[in-house]
Structure formats: structure tokens, C-alpha cells
Amino acid sequence: MPIVLDGTAVAAAIKQEVAEEVKKLAVLGIRPGLAVILVGDVPASQIYVRSKVQSCSDLGIYSELITPPTTVTTEEMLAFVACLNGREEIDGILIQLPLPASVDTKALLDAVDPAKDVDGFHPVNAGRLQAGRPALAPCTPAGVIELLKRSGIDLAGKHAVVVGRSDIVGKPAAMLLLHQNATVTICHSRTRNLGEITRQADILVAAIGVPGFISAEMVKPGATLIDVGMNRISDRSLFDRFFAGNEKREAVFAKRGSTLIGDIDPKAFELSSAYTPVPGGVGPLTIAMLMANTVRAAKMRRGL
């Protein structure tokens, strides 16, 4: 039977460690602070941001939520960022994506002080990560590494295949795996003979954003499967394709009219030695690592 890698339990452990760090900093008169900019009223973003703000409260981190309207301009957003860059009590700045099409997302992310870039998206932090220097790494791939290490999965010498080349997950995940002495291959939607490559993977990371994209035929028996995807499906035919006979999922689908699935077909999990479920796998680690990055930023900014 494959091992289910419990992201919820690992995230809880990381948050406990963060809370202890916050208490130690409090003795020095330091309280880490996180500012979140949320534009507009996208329900999914609002839910996610509420979770971040609540986590800050739970762990003793100061948080501040800035909510410009959807009519906000790039210039106004840049002014918000410039103000936050200059505030000593703010250690981390997070701009919730996606932004309205009228706002220049790249310009905003580049405007964040790299020392406060707790999302790890700034080119300076990306360069530091590549060079193996101290940096604020993107939260989701950093969470993947923590999950693997804390689950006792040795990465040294293993062949890790990352399917997906985004700046947010795919590329930094590949770099972090490389720093753990894995041999890394990056694939994407235009990779030829993709299945031949994924079948070579000891560790397969799927981050391509397509429901059930990685089929059982694309997985080497005994591989560790890391599913970063978070896709909601409401089409009955898709549900039957991936979850036929799954009574628990059937009950959720009947109640909500939809269910979550990752980028890996659940049938592939049966071939693995270990895998991350969706939900409950990689997802919970993103906020936990955001909290950890905020505390790390607070310490790095003060030379601690």
C-alpha cells in the first residue's frame, strides 16, 4: 500500500515551529508583520486571503489587509507597494494574484522590496535561489521540499521529473530539488514523448494545471507522486472518468455539484510508493510556508 503524504499534518508542525519563533522574537521586541493586497472581490481569492490573515492571528504575526477596488490603476498599486516597502513594521508584502487585466502584474511584483518578498517572486530572490544563496523561496515548492524531507523521502541521487515550468511552482521546484542533490528533468506541455520521461521518475512533481493530466501509464511503479494541481471539476463525464465507484467522492459531488482533483489521475496513486492527495496534500503547506517566510524575512532584515 502506498504511503499517503499528509500535508495537513506537516503544515501544522511547521506552523507550530513558526509560533515558537514568533515568541522568541517577541522577547527581543520584534513582531513579524505581513501586509496583503487584495484587489476586487474574487471569491476564491477572498477565501484564500482570509485563511492567510487567520493564520497570522493564530501564530502571533501582525497582519494588515489592503483592499483596493477593481478600478485601481497600476500607479495607485505601485504607491501602495512603495509605502509598504518603507514601513519598518512590515516584514512581508504579498500581492494576491490574479490582478485585474488593467494592472501591470510584473511591474508590481518587481516593485516589492526583495527583502519583503515573502512570495519569492522577485527576480532578485529567483536569482539567489538559483545561486544557492539565502533567499525567500516561493511557498508552494518550498512546501513540497519540506513535505518530502519530513516524510523521510531521501532526494539525493533520485531522478525527479517536474511537469510544469511556471515561475511560481515548476522552475523553483526544480531548483530546490537540485539543491537537495536530485537529478532533475523539467517537462511541459510541448515536451515530446512526455510519458517516456515521466516513467523514468523516482519523484514526479505534477504542476501543469490540467485535471488528471498524468495518467497511470505515465508513472513508474514505486515512484513518489507529488500533485501540486488544484482543479475543480463539475462535469459528470469527467467525474466518472476519474472517480467512478468512489463513494466518498460521489457524496461530495452530489452535494456540491463539483469536486477537487489534482493534475494526476487518482488511479496512478495505486502504483506509487507514496503520494500527496488532493485535497490535503501540498495545498495546506503553501500558507504554512508563507508564515515561515514572513518570520524568516523579519529575522533576515534584522541580521538575526
DSSP string, 160-185: EEEE---TTTHHHHHHHHHHTT-EEE
Catalytic residue selected from 52, 116, 158, 171: 52
Catalytic residue selected from 113, 119, 202, 265: 119
Cβ–Cβ < 8 Å for 37, 96: yes
Catalytic residue selected from 91, 96, 117, 158: 96
240 is catalytic: no
**Neighbour count for residue 148 (Cβ, 10 Å):** 26
Contacting residues for 220 by C-beta, under 8 A, at least 6 apart: 198, 199, 200, 201, 202, 204, 271
Q: Measure the CA–CA gap between 244 and 294, rounded to whole angstroms.
A: 42
Collapse the DSSP code of 225 into the 3-class scheme (helix H, G, I; strand E, B; otherwise coil) and give the result.
strand
Q: CA nearest 188: which of 212, 210, 203?
A: 210
Sign of CA dihedral 72, 75, 77, 80: negative
96 is catalytic: yes
Catalytically active residues, by annotation = 52, 96, 119
